[in-house]
Amino acid sequence: MGYAVMLLLVFLCHEVSSISILPHKHQTISLLKFKQSFPIHPSAVTCYCPKPHPKMSSWNTSRDCCSWDGVVCDGITGHVIELDLRCSGLVGTIDSNSSLFQLSHLQRLDLSFNYFSNSHISPEFGKFSSLKHLDLSYSYFSGQIPYEVSHLSKLHSLRLSYNSIRLDPQNFEMLLQNLTQLRELDLTFINISSTIPLNFSSHLTTLGLEYTQLYGLIPESIFHLPNLEKLSLAYNDQLSGHFPKIKWNSSASLITLDLHGVNFSDNLPDYIGYLTSVRYLFLSDCNLRGPIPESISNLTRIEYLDLFNNSLNGTIPSGVFSLPSLTYLNLGSNKFSGQLEDFKANSLISINLRDNQLQGHLPHSIQNQVNLTWLRLSFNNFSGRVDVSLFSNLIQLWHLSLSYNNISLTNDNNVTLPESLVELELATCEVKELEFLRSANQLEYLDLSNNKIEGRIPDWAWSNWNFLMRYLNISHNMLMSVESIPLQSLDTIDLRSNLLQGRT
């Protein structure tokens, strides 16, 4: 439809329905011109958007623009104050001459999850002087974030994550310095390549700076932002830091702390115990050393505790096993020693203690973790008899690994591992017979190497494994024959060092 025709339609429509207030007419034209600049291809962006909803397809002059999908007007002035076109399947560019920039009263603008074909973020965005919320994330912008974004001094939230854009370090400072009302800043995946400036607004509640190529030392003042609820500096491998040696101002408000990959080369401070609101604590790959402080037992709301791949040592304090809301515990690849305490809470879904120096018996309380899905205990010094009944009631169990300890797997009660198992690693567990695998008919990964399995693999096992098994390792056993190898989905099979004769 030509522009003149469209204008006429708009005009006529407004004459007829007598809602022809001046701002409406201009706004309607601006919005329709904006619509026109995008041929709509919802399918082009479905990889990010679960359900693209082409809101603009309902935009036409049969209704007042203030009632269009995604458009909100001020009740008194009639100005368009909100435009929400998130996940709308927009494909095209937004140039500086776009009619979008005529909507000068916007307070909220959400263009996230569209496909703007690597167009630059126009300096014109800086002219939305009333804007409080701007979301351009996941939308295929490229180039630099323009200096003019710092003009948006009323912004409460700015989300620019997941675009291939850069932010000049000086503009980063300027932005922080000028946007004094900012509560939420999400720059995830934007290339900033600078040190972290000091100019953060004390209103900040959410700061997302993961994958931003930041380097240098984290300024301690970040931990003292008094209202901070979520801080992510993860995946900036040139970043290092020190935990504050005094109580953090933000400790009562922090819910998520993600410092994955930041080099602390430090002990976890006792003050971690003041993070009483924290639910997600991600400190993997942080070069942490020393023990977990006893004060960890203060974190009664914690759900995710991830300390994977550090050099933490000593015994795991008993408080860890009593955290009432803990669902995900990852202490793998550290240097923990000593025995495990009994689990006092039953909320765990994932336990990873792999690759430490833990010893002694496995606690009986594992059998009470009814929601347990992942249990990784390989590469430790656990010892003694471990009975299959410890795991037989864990009906959600998907992954179990006990390899490379000093345990003997027994089956005194003639029970079976749960049917839900998909990955099972039992290398060097003194396994003699396979009866405990009778129910496990969904296995895709099975390591039974270095055990004491004799004779032949039973027929029921081959039929269990027929359709799904991808990796099967029964090397280093005492098998005499292997009859029915042709498993349909097998990638890898290892039969070395058995007593096989004849046909294999």
Ligand X SMILES: *[C@@H]1O[C@H](CO)[C@@H](O)[C@H](O)[C@H]1NC(C)=O
Per CB under 6 A, 439 contacts ligand X:
no
- Minimum CB separation from ligand X for residue 175, in Å? 8
Per CB under 6 A, 226 contacts ligand X:
yes
Among 19, 40, 72, 174, which residue sits at the site for ligand X (rule: CB under 6 A)? 174
Query: Which helix (H) or strand (E) segment is 328 a member of?
Result: strand 328-330
Residues in 355-374 that interact with ligand X by CB under 6 A: 370-371
Q: Which residue is nearest to ligand X (CB)?
A: 273
- Residues sharing a CB contact under 8 Å with residue 41, sequence separation 6 or more, in sequence order: 89, 91, 115
- Minimum CB separation from ligand X for residue 262, in Å? 10
Distances (CA, A) of 138 to 41, 107, 183, 190, 253: 16, 20, 20, 11, 28
- Residues sharing a CB contact under 8 Å with residue 67, sequence separation 6 or more, in sequence order: none
Per CB under 6 A, 177 contacts ligand X:
yes
Beta bridge partners of 14: none
Distances (CA, A) of 127 to 31, 100, 174, 181: 17, 11, 16, 17
Distances (CA, A) of 411 to 158, 276, 320, 322, 408: 58, 43, 30, 29, 10
Q: How far apart are CA 240 and CA 228, in angstroms?
A: 20
DSSP 8-state code for residue 118: T
- Minimum CB separation from ligand X for residue 80, in Å? 17
- Binding mask of the shown chain, residues 137 to 166, with x at each position contacting ligand X by CB under 6 A: -------------xx-x------------x
Among 199, 277, 359, 481, which residue sits at the site for ligand X (rule: CB under 6 A)? 199
- Minimum CB separation from ligand X for residue 116, in Å? 14
- Minimum CB separation from ligand X for residue 58, in Å? 4
Write out the two tokens for 160.
Answer: 């620019």
Neighbours of 459 (CB within 10 A): 10
Write out the two tokens for 191.
Answer: 């290339």
Closer by beta carbon to ligand X, 138 or else 211 = 211
Of the candidates 277, 300, 282, 168, the residue with the CA atom closest to the CA atom of residue 235: 282
Neighbours of 161 (CB within 10 A): 23
- Binding mask of the shown chain, residues 277 to 316, with x at each position contacting ligand X by CB under 6 A: --------x-x-xx----x--x----------x---xx--
- Minimum CB separation from ligand X for residue 357, in Å? 9
Q: What end-to-end distance do the CA atoms of the chain give, in Å?
A: 73
Closer by beta carbon to ligand X, 157 or else 309 = 309
Closer by beta carbon to ligand X, 20 or else 371 = 371
Per CB under 6 A, 62 contacts ligand X:
yes
Closer by beta carbon to ligand X, 21 or else 370 = 370
Closer by beta carbon to ligand X, 348 or else 472 = 348
Count of positions (residues) in the chain: 504
- Minimum CB separation from ligand X for residue 201, in Å? 11
Q: What is the largest CA-CA distance in the chain?
A: 94
Q: How far apart are CA 404 and CA 140, in angstroms?
A: 47
For ligand X (CB under 6 A), the number of binding residues is 46
Helices then strands, counting H and E runs in the chain, come out as 4, 33
- Binding mask of the shown chain, residues 240 to 279, with x at each position contacting ligand X by CB under 6 A: x-----x--x-------------x-x----x--xx-x---
- Minimum CB separation from ligand X for residue 406, in Å? 20
* Binding residues for ligand X (CB under 6 A): 58, 60, 62-63, 95, 97, 150-151, 153, 166, 173-174, 177-178, 191, 193, 197-199, 202, 213, 224, 226, 240, 246, 249, 263, 265, 270, 273-274, 276, 285, 287, 289-290, 295, 298, 309, 313-314, 346-347, 370-371, 414
